Each structure stands twice: as structure tokens, then as C-alpha cells.
Amino acid sequence: MDMRAARMHGYKQPLHIDEVQVPVPGPDEVLVKVLACGMCRSDYQLIDGYFPLDLTFPYIPGHEVAGEVAELGSDVPGSTGLSEGDRVVVNPAWGDGTCRQCHEGNEQLCTGSGGWIGFGPPGGFAEYVTVPSRHLIRIDADAGLEPHQLAPLVDAGLTPYRGMKKLRATGRLGPGRTVVVSGIGGLGSYGVQYAKLLGDGATVVAFARSDDKLDVARQNGADHTINTRGKTPDQMRAELRELTGRGEIDGALDCSGAPQSLELNASLLGAEGALVSVGLMGTSVEFPIFLFVSGERTFSGSFWGNYNDLTEVLALAAQGRVKHTVTPVGLDDINDRLGALGRGDVIGRQVVVFD
């Protein structure tokens, strides 16, 4: 049986829509019929050669996968509770299960031979994909979540969730405090919601360089928004003072990863403030050492999320507490849509949907 798949035939080239054979699941694998696969800026970056990965071409990217079980491998344990026709999402971090990080439950940080679907193992820009059974999470049909809503939750909805948990863990948020979510793209549109849900009552301010994206932030619960385009740190402090009564912030979740944005957020942090970065765009940033040492400010990276983080996100979504800003697109439009992602022209998340 054949299927349609969008494949890389090399770096810096458009994807080809190819007819290829449907993969056969190994003994402990599940054949998943892909119903939706989210499009991430990191897909654009993967094709552009940003990541130090050694892919074998032709290669199918796509790491935000929701679908249904089409076939179970011969040795898939009954304890998975999976059967044909079940709705599932793919937990994207496929650790080797043996290193220290995997034993801590942080398979997304695997330092051994693990990887991530769509960045090594073939991904979801295809009608079918095979997945080791332990990386599937069954979704209750009663939850009323459509595949195009579920798919982005495994990265765009997951990554800022883990980042916001890290910010909360610093203990710097609370009533009268200010938490910023900067970069309101696919991740940030969820990030502002987690700032409200997990921010312990802190005032939520969204930063972006586009008014359309700031509209999404407001719809998703941001108390205030600031368009940062062309503004100096002093101008930002003045606007913050006007909006919140204070010219500084206590926490920032940077979803853009742009050095400009990280440096701006760092300069606005008050004493003991925390900056968490989940975005990947530039290569390096400069932070003032004296500010970080003398005021005990902190910076930390936060990468994707682990299995339990994802089950928490799915629980919030099942309770109807997550807003989805999603545009379904067809596989044939994938190159055009990836180009828009690269230019930063996308509001919310684009998701490839299959019939």
C-alpha cells in the first residue's frame, strides 16, 4: 500500500510530495494513521540546516502528530491499552531509556542514543507513521478534541508549559508581580495562557513585534500587550510603568529565541527575576554579568517537555482550559506555508490535516 509523504531530499530545498510505501510496524511498534501534523518553525529550521543532525535522505519531517491506531505490532503489550481505531498523540521525545536523563523521566534531554520524531525517526508529514508503542498517548474520544487541536499540543502547547513551570518554581511570581511572555507565535499563543494558569496571580504582559499577534495574546488572556518593534529598553520600562505601575518584570518566558528579545527581557528583569528561554533562533546572546550576579537574576533554558508534562497539558485541554489558535492546511501547500513560517508571518499554529 502506498501513501503520500512530504520528504526532504536535501537541505535548503523544498519538500517533495512523494508516493512511498506505508511503513510496516516492528514488533513493539504501532502504525499510526496521521490525521494532523503541526507545522513548527523548527521544521523550517531543520530544512534550512540549523540543527546539527545527520539525516538520511529522503527524509519525512514533522513532529506534532495526532492520529489513530491503524495496526498494532505483534508484541505490543496489552498494558498499553491501545487498540485499532484509538485516537492518539505521539509523545515526541524518544529517549533511549537508559541514560540518567531518561531515568529522571526527561527523555527529551536524552544524552544517549535517543532522538525525537521528525528529527531522526521519520515524522508525520505523511499519511502513516510507525511509533514505538510506549510513546503513544491515548486520547479519550469524549474529550471533544479534534486532531488539528491535539497535534500542536505535543510541542507548541507543551514547550511553553514546561518553561512556565520552571518560572513558577523560582517562586518569583504572584499577585503584584509581572510575568512576560515574549514572541507570540505558535508557542507564545499557548504561553500566555499558562502564565494565567500557572502564574500564581501575576500580571501577564505579552511582547511581540506584530499587533496581529498581540491580538491573539489578548484573546488568550494576556492582561497587557506591548509591541516591542523599534523600542529601547528605556521606552519599554516607561510603557511597563504605565501599564503595571512598575518599570521592571519578575519573570519572562522567551518563546522567540531571538538574541534581541532575550537581551531586552534580561535588561527588564528586577532583582531575583528569572528568564526562561524556550525559543531557538539565534546562536548567542550577551547578558550583563554584574546585573545577574549582584541581583541574583537567573537564566535557564527549557527544552520541549517530558511525558508527564504532556499528560498535564492534555488534561488541561480535555477540561477545555486551553484555547487553540489553529489554521488547518493541506499537504500540497506545505512549502508555501513553511515559507510563511520562516518569515514569521503565521498567526497561531498551522496544522497539516489529512482526510
Enumerate binding residues for Zn ion (CB under 5 A). Answer: 95-96, 99, 102, 110, 112, 114
Least separation in angstroms between CB 112 and Zn ion: 4
Give the strand pairing for 16-21 and 93-94: unpaired
Cβ-contact 17, 331 below 8 angstroms: yes
25: CB partners within 8 A, 6+ apart = 31, 71, 72, 73, 130
Nearer to Zn ion, 220 or 306 (CB): 306
Least distance to Zn ion, CB of residue 191, Å: 27
The answer to whether the peptide bond before residue 52 is cis (omega within 30 degrees of 0) is: no
Q: Which three cell numbers stand for residue 156?
A: 507548541
Would you call 69 helix, strand, or coil by DSSP?
Answer: strand
Q: Which residues pair with 339 in a beta bridge?
A: none
Residue with cell 514546561: 162
**Shortest distance, CB of residue 103 to Zn ion, whole angstroms?**
8
Please name every residue paired with 178 in a beta bridge, in sequence order, or none if there are none.
203
Kindly tell me which of 114 and 121 has the beta carbon lying closer to Zn ion.
114
* CB nearer to Zn ion: pick between 306 and 350: 306
Q: Angle at Cα 30 formed by Cα 24 and Cα 31, nearest 5°?
A: 50
Q: How far is the CB of 308 from Zn ion (least distance, A)?
A: 16
Nearer to Zn ion, 18 or 96 (CB): 96
Contact yes or no for 120/59 (Cβ under 8 A):
no
Nearer to Zn ion, 132 or 199 (CB): 132
Q: Shortest distance, CB of residue 133 to Zn ion, whole angstroms?
A: 18
Shortest separation between residue 311's beta carbon and Zn ion, angstroms = 19
Q: Whole-angstrom Cα distance, residue 327 to residue 314? A: 20
Least distance CB 81 / Zn ion (angstroms)? 25
Residue 94 C-beta: closest distance to Zn ion, Å: 9
| Single-letter amino acid code for the residue at 43 | D
Task: For Zn ion, give the closer residue by CB, 43 or 309.
Answer: 309
CA distances to 58, 141, 189, 284 from 168, rounded to whole Å, are: 42, 32, 18, 25
Residue number, 112 or 247, with CB nearest to Zn ion = 112
- Polymer length of the chain: 355
The answer to whether 123 and 8 are in contact (CB under 8 A) is no
Residue nearer to Zn ion on the CB measure, 113 or 311: 113
